[in-house]
Structure 1
Amino acid sequence: MSSAPSTPTVRQDGRSSAGQTPGGATASHRSGPFLALIAVCTAVTAANIYLAAPLLSLIARDFGATPSAVAWIASVAQLGYAAGLLFFAPLGDTVNRRRLVTLLTVVTAAALVASALAPGTGALAAAVFVASAATVVPQLLVPLVAARAPAARRARHVAAVIAGLFTGIVAARVVGGLAGQAFGWRWVFAGAALLTLGLGLATALALPSERRSRDGSLFGGLTALPGLLRRSPDLWRASVRQAGMFGAWSALWTSLALLLTGPAYGLSTATAGLFGLFGLAASAVAPLAGGLVDRFGAARVVRGAYLLAAVSVPLFWVGGHVIGALFVAAVAIHAALVASHVANQTLALTTTSSPATANTAYVVSGFAGGATASALAGTAFTHFGWGGVSVVAGVWLALGWGLTATRRGRR
């Protein structure tokens, strides 16, 4: 593989005009086991970012603290992942991916073992930060999957990896919590280390051999992000629209536990946590969204996803008093988020000659939109209740669409 994989021309509707990869259906058939391995590896590594969240009460009990006193450890994981995205993910354009995936896998596994052995909250937070920063392997693999896929099935291949990503997020919250209750939180981190090491090294061995003509720099990709966004209107649009979509989802989803455990419903924390199972809708929607992108283009799929999200916001508001509306809204917002993600990320990966750097710009934009909306939603809930959270989500959707409605992408 060359140092910069050839990038197909992307039409304004988001569909690729490139022909099939050499071998056509044969190449697609051979890539099946490889794609499955990457999807499973993505699920396991993505779960590491959210591993601490369902274990906070057990961690607090072990260290003689209250759950609220250790809740910041889950936020440290998010900060670590953001740092990893900025510094490590762009290296996929410039360094040998096999070596980079191997190094990050070993570092992640070692940090997870350190988490399992942590004597206090400070040591645990430091280990979780390192593990989350190094667990950006999925964002190194998505550009490779897009580059190797046949043009007519590119979005479906990207969707398979995204399905693994969301499955890992759900598994971390549900399976991690159950395993922690049964075996203790330290064994959950130790088990995650073993899974990460095994699947990460297996994936690294399966990656194609690459020769890179440029040296990677921790700051080279970071400094290239603003210019890349300016030069590519399609990448800019995909990033802003996903920031709006992810922001709306984050505002609603991160505040939902406050509603469910508050006076309106009075559910226990464990029962409220079962709402995370609605995230499984993402795994089912991703392949369907990929097929729609390949057939109709990214623009139409994103438009449909925004319409579905716009319907889900008032349903969430009604859900402040009617639990059935929350069920429907939870499925709808997850379906909208994943469909939008598949379409926008496919467009981001195929619109420049630096797919790893473009993917970093896209993912960081979405992450920033989600983090900002979550912070605003928490304040809105404190002062205005669940209705205030719904307003924040609606405003974020309006901004995501409105800021990109008048800027046309390239053909």
Structure 2
Amino acid sequence: MSPEATAARRSTRGTDHGTGRGARQTPVREPRAPALFLTLLAVCSAVTAANIYLAAPLLSLIARDFGSTPSAVAWIASVAQFGYAVGLLFFAPLGDSANRRRLVAVLTLVTTVALAASAAAPGSGALAVAVFVASAATVVPQLLVPLVAERAPTARRARHVAAVVAGLFTGIVAARVLGGLAGQAFGWRWVFAGAAVLTLALGLATAAALPAERRHRAGSLFAGVAALPGLVRRSPDLWRACLRQAGMFGAWSALWTSLALLLTEEPYGLSTATAGLFGLFGLTASAVAPLAGGLVDRFGAARVVRSAYLLAAVSVPLFWLGGQVMAALFVAAIAIHAALVASHVANQTLALTTTSTPATANTAYVVSGFAGGATASALAGPAFGHFGWGGVCAVAAVWLAVGWGATAARQR
């Protein structure tokens, strides 16, 4: 039996992920992470995750400042996601070998400098470069999640992972809501400057609070990348989690990053600040994450992911109807966030427990998700320009179909 299979058998003993049936838990000796420590990690994840989505609610303001149109600068939002995926490839696998305290501190400093450069960018090209660097360095949450999974008792692992995931998605929502409000009040440049200050404070505080680790190997930036294909090939569960989350996150990204374009143009014509308030519906994520963690611990990942995909499939026609009916957008926003977070908690817990190198497996999982999201976002902008809101909904529907259909075919 391979090391990956042995580790997966040990770490998933309490839950049958294939059938979704709970099994009896055996006592474990892993220390339970203190609530204060989990809270700090969740807040840090919220602040750093928000950096990836700062540009999305500010596209109209950025375009006006640079003398362009919102659809012409929409690609900057997808640049941020591509940057995050690149950062994950090179930095997140170091969690298996490098000193995470030192790594978090260094990445925090790089992110802070890049956000400051974004605030001072003279044009869309310079802004895109700075956003790319900031997003590539802001991978701290994906160094913290494997740490939490390592420290959590087996019977409550998904719940602890969900606590950090809740913080991460709260940050994504805050980026849209507070970013839109602050951008309308003070200008988009001050939003990036404020994010730099928050990132510096929370990142360094988290680095100081991380447990001391006796790791003398610095790790190679390329070793983790080289290990990814073989790791995914040897673990069908990891492969399935990667592809399903890529489909789910792609559908969400296509809809959510384009939503500001719909709301600020006809028939709605909302201001940037008012459109940003729409992101409050995304707070569903914070409520769903702990619930999803409990369901995964009890019923297994497979059943939770199936339910999440069904909910996401229902949300797409609601989003399409929301092109003319605001109430449909309200319901669709709640549904897509609930589906995304439930799927993420289930798939990420499975990814973290299916191999003997959780940080590298987590890298494969999150890179797949964000690559799917970035590609869908990149297609959503032109789709909106050529086909309107219906084109964006079509992109989301295709991503869901591919994510589920490919894995279902492989399973058979």
What interval of TM-score do these two structures reach, taking the shorter chain for normalisation? 0.7 to 0.9
Match status 1:96 vs 2:99: yes
The amino acid across from 1:66 in the alignment is: S
Which stretch shifts more, 176-185 or 150-159? 176-185
**Percent of aligned pairs sharing the same letter:** 80
Relative distance call for 1:351 and 1:74 in structure 2 (3 A) is same
Match status 1:294 vs 2:297: yes
Matched-pair contact (CA < 8 Å) for 1:16–1:151? no
1:226-257 deviations in Å (ceiling 9; x for gaps):
11110000000111111111122223333334
The amino acid across from 1:260 in the alignment is: L
Compute the RMSD of aligned alpha carbons: 2.7
Q: Distance in 1 between matches of 2:142 and 2:238?
A: 16
SS for the counterpart of 2:334 is helix
Q: Could you list the runs of 4 or more consecutive aligned residues of structure 1 that deviate by over 6 angstroms after TM superposition? A: 14-18
Shift, 1:61, TM fit: 5.6
* 1:218-367 pair list within 5 angstroms: 218-367=221-370
Q: Which residue of 2 aligns with 1:402?
A: 405
2:67 aligns with one of 65, 68, 71: 65
The amino acid across from 2:68 in the alignment is: T
Q: What is the TM-score with the length of structure 1 in the denominator?
A: 0.88
Q: Distance in 2 between matches of 1:380 and 1:395?
A: 13
Shift, 1:141, TM fit: 0.6
1:252-276 deviations in Å (ceiling 9; x for gaps):
3333344434444444444333322
SS for the counterpart of 1:403 is helix
1:358-385 deviations in Å (ceiling 9; x for gaps):
1111111111222233344444444544
Q: Distance in 1 between matches of 2:193 and 2:260?
A: 28
Q: Distance in 2 between matches of 1:106 and 1:71?
A: 27
Matched-pair contact (CA < 8 Å) for 2:177–2:278? no
Relative distance call for 1:311 and 1:79 in structure 2 (3 A) is closer
Shift, 1:399, TM fit: 1.9
Shift, 1:313, TM fit: 2.0
Matched-pair contact (CA < 8 Å) for 2:57–2:272? no
SS for the counterpart of 2:355 is coil
Q: Which residue of 2 aligns with 1:48?
A: 51
Shift, 1:43, TM fit: 0.6
Q: Which residue of 1 aligns with 2:144?
A: 141
Shift, 1:341, TM fit: 0.5
Q: Distance in 2 between matches of 1:122 and 1:392?
A: 26
Q: Which residue of 1 aligns with 2:29?
A: 22
Matched-pair contact (CA < 8 Å) for 2:48–2:199? yes
Relative distance call for 1:77 and 1:404 in structure 2 (3 A) is closer
Relative distance call for 1:380 and 1:60 in structure 2 (3 A) is closer
1:285-344 deviations in Å (ceiling 9; x for gaps):
111111111111111111111111122222223333332222111111110111000100
Q: Distance in 2 between matches of 1:266 and 1:117?
A: 29
Q: What is the TM-score with the length of structure 2 in the denominator?
A: 0.88
Which stretch shifts more, 243-252 or 286-295? 243-252
Q: Which residue of 2 aligns with 1:114?
A: 117
Shift, 1:177, TM fit: 2.8
Matched-pair contact (CA < 8 Å) for 2:184–2:272? no
SS for the counterpart of 1:88 is helix
Q: Which residue of 1 aligns with 2:207?
A: 204
Match status 1:192 vs 2:199: no
Match status 1:370 vs 2:370: no
Matched-pair contact (CA < 8 Å) for 1:85–1:364? yes
Shift, 1:352, TM fit: 0.5
Matched-pair contact (CA < 8 Å) for 1:83–1:133? yes
SS for the counterpart of 1:174 is helix
Relative distance call for 1:67 and 1:217 in structure 2 (3 A) is same
Match status 1:12 vs 2:14: no
Q: Distance in 1 between matches of 2:291 and 2:360?
A: 27
- In structure 1, list runs of 5 or more residues that go unmatched: none
Which stretch shifts more, 222-231 or 167-176? 167-176
Q: Distance in 2 between matches of 1:303 and 1:115?
A: 40
Q: Distance in 1 between matches of 2:149 and 2:27?
A: 12
Relative distance call for 1:16 and 1:136 in structure 2 (3 A) is farther
1:83 aligns with one of 83, 86, 93: 86
Q: Distance in 1 between matches of 2:178 and 2:260?
A: 18
Match status 1:37 vs 2:6: no
Relative distance call for 1:367 and 1:350 in structure 2 (3 A) is same
Q: Distance in 2 between matches of 1:200 and 1:353?
A: 27
The amino acid across from 1:12 in the alignment is: H
Q: Which residue of 1 aligns with 2:392?
A: 389
Q: Distance in 1 between matches of 2:410 and 2:92?
A: 27
SS for the counterpart of 1:211 is coil
Relative distance call for 1:358 and 1:267 in structure 2 (3 A) is same
Matched-pair contact (CA < 8 Å) for 2:180–2:277? no
Relative distance call for 1:396 and 1:132 in structure 2 (3 A) is closer
Shift, 1:57, TM fit: 4.7
Relative distance call for 1:17 and 1:42 in structure 2 (3 A) is farther
- How many residues align? The count is 401
The amino acid across from 1:41 in the alignment is: C
